[in-house]
Amino acid sequence: MSLFEEILRARGLQDATRESFLHPDYGKRHDPFLLPDMAKAVDRLVAAREKQERITIYGDYDIDGLTATTLLVDALGQFGFRFVETFIPNRFVEGYGMTVDAVERIAASGAQLILTVDCGSLSEKEIVRANELGVDVIVTDHHNVALTQPPAIAVVNPKRLLQDNPRRYHGMMLTRQMKTKPLYPFLDLPGVGVAFKLIQALQTRLDGLPYGQEKWLLDLVALGTICDVVTLVDENRLHVFWGLKVLAKTRRPGLKALMAVSGVEPSKVDARSLGFMLGPRLNAAGRLETARHAQEMLLATNGLEALEKAELLDALNKQRRAEQDEIHKLATKQAETYKGDPVLVVSHPDWNHGIVGIVAAKLLEKYKKPTFVLQEMGGESKGSARSYGGFSAADAIRAADRLITKGGGHKLAAGVTLPTKNIEAFRKHLNDYFRSLQLPPQPPLLLLSEDVVTADFAQLNEGLLHEISQLEPFGNGNPEPIVKIDAVQVVSIRRMGNDGQHLKLSLQDYLGGGLDVVAFSADESWFVEPGEVVSVWIQPLLNEWRGVKRVEGRLVRLEMGKDSGEE
């Protein structure tokens, strides 16, 4: 059996499952009307179209919200809605989600309907206020839901089905469809995915966007899906698979310009390009200034205007990286003070809370602990959390309700605002909460495991890489395959980067074959000596330099081998 066949078997991709995964069929999309309140949302929007009411799309400052907002502006325009405005909150003014002040400003502008994307499920008082001002609200969202839904015309959120039918779902997948009570089969859609389903539903009632033409929206869906790190299975995989093909020939001047300044060749765009090249530049605007810059680029119809905005995003991203590096150095130094805690909580007045989430992720990776990084802003502090394994950042924040002003999010990523004077009590509460869970050791959960084991570098060839490419797009729920190679000898080691933080190893297998592997921001324990025997876990990749192609490896894990001389 070939290495590729072993990889497929390890992932449970055999027979019919294999075919549907390798060749996603766009025609097998799910019925949008199985989502909660979808029919109500469509009825209200059809009525708004007939009366040409003024609509404000209330978005969010992250990529999921920005792409969903852009998607709705595009599609509603094609359906013939003439009065559509957007509202993108400022992270440093409104913060995440709906606010009463923003609702009042939108109502004063003459809006008759607010359509949210990527927010609104927990906005009870804001929607009550909208209703008092005579403004209807349709919520489209994918975040956690309340036990009682806010008084909107419709709350279109897949998570409602999990709350109402917990026994019908395993994780986010429906276990069995029933004719008497059909349910939406897949719940882990991002905000842009929910907005796309709304457009599919509107196609059944309105002219202007014929069936099939909605595929041109999939470039936005792919971008939001990848950058929101939802699982790339089922409908998410379908959307990204076809969305990457659309992105390669996108009609949007903004995305063309963004790829140009990011050094992404449209014909070679992949999920990694979105997550590591396009995504950070789009997010930089909202982290440092206002996400409006990114929104204007995505909506641009003029190539020159789009390029100007893309260059601004590129400059902001460079500034973001510089600030992030400085925060990371200071946060690492502070974290050493609390390295005995199972949950890290660090804070400082000079740390931009638009950036601290990235720093929290880096500290988690270094210390292998759930991490909260906060900016102290006088009497109030605000920040982000990153977690893994059995510790839910969102649940921990909810458990600290008496100490915080507000907070919430997902299991692995969340945000919190609290009085600065409560930081020490918050730190103690989080660590007490962690200990109360009596979780098994968590760091092993961060260790990446292999899909397949080989002892022969010769099997890592261009043919294998071509086969592996059929599994793309890669991401959460569908990671790049990992190959483990046991008992290989380190021939040479090279440190790279300004601080020597990157690593390049030249390895030799038992047959004398050679392979170079590279790790960026490598774990300190990976800096081994020439002559030592190690086991490595790698993701094979093709390195092309000056026309010469070589198969190399991205090092993701390293352990000392049995023959290395260690006791």
Domain(s) labelled CATH 2.40.50.460 in the chain stretch across 452-560
Q: Is domain 452-560 given the CATH code 2.60.40.1840 in the classification?
A: no
Q: Report the alpha-carbon distance of residue 382 to residue 373 in Å, rounded.
A: 8
pLDDT tens string, the chain, 567 residues long: the values are 799 999 999 999 988 889 999 999 999 999 999 999 999 999 999 999 999 999 999 999 999 999 999 999 999 999 999 999 999 999 888 888 899 999 999 999 999 999 999 999 999 999 999 999 999 999 999 988 989 999 999 999 999 999 999 999 998 999 999 999 999 999 999 999 999 999 999 999 999 999 999 999 999 999 999 999 899 999 999 999 999 999 999 999 999 999 999 999 999 999 999 999 999 999 999 999 999 999 999 999 999 999 999 999 999 999 999 999 999 999 999 999 999 999 999 999 999 999 999 999 999 999 999 999 999 999 999 999 999 999 999 999 999 999 999 888 788 899 999 999 999 999 999 999 999 999 999 999 999 999 999 988 999 999 999 999 999 999 999 999 999 999 999 999 999 988 888 999 999 998 899 999 999 888 888 999 999 999 999 999 998 888 888 999 999 999 987 544 443
Q: Report the alpha-carbon distance of residue 61 to residue 344 in Å, rounded.
A: 27
C-alpha neighbours within 13 Å on the C-beta side of residue 12 = 3
Domain(s) labelled CATH 3.10.310.30 in the chain stretch across 339-445
Cβ neighbors of 350 (< 8 A, separation 6 or more) are 375
Say if CB 123 and CB 2 are below 8 A apart: no
The total number of residues written for the chain in this structure: 567
Q: Is domain 29-214 given the CATH code 3.40.630.30 in the classification?
A: no
Domain(s) labelled CATH 3.90.1640.30 in the chain stretch across 29-214
Q: Tell me how far the alpha carbon of residue 179 is from its chain's centroid.
A: 34
Q: Where on the phi/psi map is residue 206: left (φ > 0), alpha (ψ -120 to 50), or beta?
A: beta
Cβ neighbors of 466 (< 8 A, separation 6 or more) are none
Q: Report the alpha-carbon distance of residue 180 to residue 178 in Å, rounded.
A: 5
pLDDT at 565: 41
Using DSSP's 3-state secondary structure scheme, residue 375 falls into strand
- Of 76, 36, 13, whose CA–CA distance to 163 is shortest? 36
pLDDT at 562: 58
- Of 387, 390, 353, whose CA–CA distance to 367 is shortest? 387
Q: Say what the pTM is.
A: 0.92
Q: Which neighbouring-strand residues pair with 174?
A: 169
Burial class (CB in 10 A: 0-12, 13-18, 19+), 262: buried
Say if CB 289 and CB 279 are below 8 A apart: no
Q: Report the alpha-carbon distance of residue 63 to residue 281 in Å, rounded.
A: 10
Choices 2.60.40.420, 3.10.310.30, 3.40.50.1820, 3.20.20.80: CATH for 339-445: 3.10.310.30
pLDDT at 561: 72
Q: What is the DSSP letter of 212?
A: T
Burial class (CB in 10 A: 0-12, 13-18, 19+), 352: middle
pLDDT at 354: 92
